[in-house]
Amino acid sequence: MANLKAIRVRLSSVKSTRQITSAMKMVAASKLRRSQDAIVQLRPFAAKLEEILTGLNNALRDAETENIYAARKQTSGKVLIVVVTSNKGLCGAFNANVIREARRIMAEKYPEQAKRGDLWFITVGKKGNDLLKRLKCNILEEHSDLWSDLTYEKTAIMADRLITLYLSKEYDTIEIVYNQFKNAAVQKLTAEQFLPVTVAEKDTDDNGSADYIYEPDQVSIVRELIPKSLRIQFYKALLDSFAAEHGARMTAMHQATDNATELIRDLTLQYNKARQAAITNQLLEVVSGAEALNG
């Protein structure tokens, strides 16, 4: 029979672990709610911008509008992947999934660039940064500090940086790999092309936009709106990843708490059995001792 003291020590350690995991679960739940709110707040803005931009698509498709954000012919052969992970661990397979997807893209979509060393990464999140560093990938920049204060203004600066990298013809393609937030328990791993911009073909609603007065004119509005919508797209990706992280952590910690509870039950049972056995033993000793005296 296992020794009583050992079980007691183990039991108390598991109990304190459960306390920690259940506290983390609650913290993650409240952070999740807040980050979900942020996504909901962004939605009307993003939807309206999208609507106006789609309405302006005609101007965008006109031959005379040179769209500097669209795919271009001369290429530098370099590809940039933005990998969005978290700064902290303890959230299940959240970060590992992103890295796995990034490596898959690397192997399947851009094998030549990877061989040439023309595949670069920008990381948001310490975990992904560490993992990619260990895999000896080319890391251009790390922006893990974004997570400490996730605001539109800050992400806009980084989105502008990405846009500059594209417009300066340094990179041909910029992709973002991140976890999209589905619900608290489900994250959808997403790889999205950030630049060049893919123009949605939409002819159905052509006259819907015709009766507007455009100021200054359609082309300049489109020119101004594209970077704006890119900033929004990037902000949305980060918000999604942030909410997904907390969702993943909440689920992981919920699991951990459940496991700890089960372990505690088993250990308590073992402890009680051991205690009972010890008492029986002691009783036997007393009785047989008395028996020996009487005999």
Query: To which H or E segment does residue 178 belong?
Result: strand 173-183
Q: Is 45 in the site for other proteins (CB under 8 A)?
A: yes
Query: To which H or E segment does residue 79 belong?
Result: strand 79-84
Rounded-to-integer distance, Cα 44 and Cα 163, Å: 24
On whether the CB atoms of residues 149 and 109 are closer than 8 A, the answer is: no
**Both tokens assigned to 153:** 């203004």
On whether the CB atoms of residues 128 and 83 are closer than 8 A, the answer is: yes
Q: Is 72 in the site for other proteins (CB under 8 A)?
A: no
Size of the site for other proteins (CB under 8 A): 26
For other proteins, the closer of residues 171 and 242 by Cβ is 242
Q: How far is the CB of 83 from other proteins (least distance, A)?
A: 23
Q: How far is the CB of 125 from other proteins (least distance, A)?
A: 21
* Residue 91 annotated in active site: yes
Rounded-to-integer distance, Cα 92 and Cα 21, Å: 13
Neighbours of 166 (CB within 10 A): 21
Q: Taking contact as CB under 8 A, which single stretch among the options 80-88, 101-109, 165-173, 213-221 is the one that binds other proteins?
A: 213-221
10 Å CB burial of residue 269 (0-12, 13-18, 19+) is exposed
Q: How far is the CB of 174 from other proteins (least distance, A)?
A: 20
On whether the CB atoms of residues 201 and 25 are closer than 8 A, the answer is: no
Among 4, 189, 219, 225, binds other proteins (CB under 8 A): 225
Q: Is 49 in the site for other proteins (CB under 8 A)?
A: yes
Kindly name the residue from 82, 83, 91, 195 that is annotated as catalytic: 91
For other proteins, the closer of residues 4 and 49 by Cβ is 49
Q: Is 242 in the site for other proteins (CB under 8 A)?
A: no
For other proteins, the closer of residues 196 and 227 by Cβ is 227
Q: Taking contact as CB under 8 A, which single stretch among the options 82-90, 105-113, 215-223, 253-261 is the one that binds other proteins?
A: 215-223
Q: Chain centroid to CA 133: how far?
A: 18
Closest CA to 240 of 125, 84, 99, 53: 84
Among 4, 139, 221, 264, binds other proteins (CB under 8 A): 221
Taking CA 97 as the corner, what is the angle to CA 152 and CA 42, rounded to the nearest 5 degrees? Answer: 20
Q: Is 52 in the site for other proteins (CB under 8 A)?
A: yes
Name the residues that contact other proteins, by CB under 8 A. 38, 41-42, 44-46, 48-49, 52, 151-153, 156, 211-216, 220-221, 224-225, 228, 232, 235
> Could you give the residue numbers annotated as active site?
91
